[in-house]
Structure 1
């Protein structure tokens, strides 16, 4: 997980606050003290996944926190507090986490005019309902956060609508024609990652489209030859086994969403 600091003429912007207040304070301590005093700080939560906003308590009261309006629905969901309880029970570093929501929300897009730099906050749902990417046109840099990921992103659910949203968001990011596309995970900045993500979802759709109804109903489809994670994406050299397992699970969700999307298409034909 990563946070990004952007220095503009009129203000500083922190994109995401990491997974704990302590991590966020460590990130802020990296800033030059004079720098921190000469420009006001603004914070953008890209989305309300724990590793991107649980550090908000380190910011609350000292800087405005901006997020998409759909974050409010996620914050009201009991599962948000349950995730915190579960993680705290397993790891003491989450004991100081307090769920702090945004101060400012928007529904479609929002522009922060920093003088020399513009930060366009673009709604890019699909990975989560509230996800936003940040486009800096003067630099032609897109901070894609989790909408783009190496080796693959994960769709929010196995529904056809969420699959449509993540593919549309990827296309929206590709249409920016960015010089650099920087996701939060994967240690890459190449725009080719967007193309690779789109190609992955297209390959999933093409392969699922060859199956019979009985084959589509197979609950173990993701383990079948030709439909496994590694049949679509080369596993990066040196990737830890637990990380491979994580992306296998992402693939299972993506495959399930693709199956549902195909079945809906067949029924409507």
Structure 2
């Protein structure tokens, strides 16, 4: 009953109904190779409709599936989705338990879809703190999708930007101590090679729905030069059309990376 109600409430804007004209127009401009998303607003979306917060999280999963499909259609190679932070363990135990079960169910039920659509799944974060059942299915879905090449989705699960950087520092310090690395050899490339997103391009666009305008400890190193896109739309209402609007906004930005465009002073 609850699932049927959610289905009615979620905006039914599938990729298939997005006009071909809009897709083709977007494809003519620069496409970010990597997009990061903070999936915010699930709880407020549910409260607004008199539903439990868990209903918002379930609806948020449906939104992510639509956005990944849309991203693949326009040629985006990587999506990093912030699904559960290192701070989210502080939430009520009932909500944490629901989310852990939800992750497990999604990984199990969507495996065939991932393979059909060429989606490679990578889980980034502290896997050792997850319940064994979630760890097992997470490892399984990564293994069974590792050869897919259409699009890579990084699921940031028990992830924190500061925690990631601390882990990198420890790894580098250990290598220096063991005389495997000299201090003068430490540079941006060395640090990037130790990140969860090693061998991937840094995100060029960060999208945060839900009305908040902060980074919330997400990809602190990787988004140094990312374009930031904030919107009031709650994540469960975030459609393929909304996603294309964010990409269109990105295409209208002037990216200088600290320099100047020719002819400007």
- Decide: shared fold, TM above 0.5: no
Ranked by relative contact order (alpha carbons within 8 Å, sequence separation 6 or more), the top structure is 2
- Report which of the two has the higher share of helix: 2
Q: TM-score scaled to structure 2, two decimals?
A: 0.29
Q: TM-score scaled to structure 1, two decimals?
A: 0.28
